[in-house]
Amino acid sequence: KAYLATVESFDKEIGRAVLLQRNKVSEGEHARVISPGKGFRDIVLSDLRDENGEKIECAPHPKMLYSVAAPFELHPGDIVSGV
């Protein structure tokens, strides 16, 4: 499926990941996080926010930085793909 984003950073204290967008994603979209050397985990992309912390419904622009809530730790370089 489509290559949606790459993880840029993760804040353990608040459980949020900053992603660099590759293809359009929308609130509630099901995705798969691929961790090099560690396999993959499924995630629902929720609570999308732009660089200013404003809630957004989608990330439509290539190379846009946005954040999502994450129920597990993500690592810089992890790949987010569609399922």
pLDDT at 1 over 70: no
Band of residue 36 on the pLDDT scale cut at 50, 70, 90: confident
Band of residue 47 on the pLDDT scale cut at 50, 70, 90: very high
Q: Where are the beta strands (DSSP E) in 12-78?
A: 16-21, 25-26, 30-35, 39-44, 46-49, 58-59, 65-69
Place of tokens 């926010």: 49
C-alpha distances in Å from residue 23, one per residue of 18, 20, 65, 75: 15, 10, 12, 19
Phi, psi of 77 (to 5 degrees): 95, -15
Mean pLDDT of the residues in the chain? 94
Indicate whether this model's pTM tops 0.85: yes
Q: What would the pLDDT profile of 55-79 be if each residue is shown by its tens digit?
A: 999 999 889 999 999 999 999 999 9
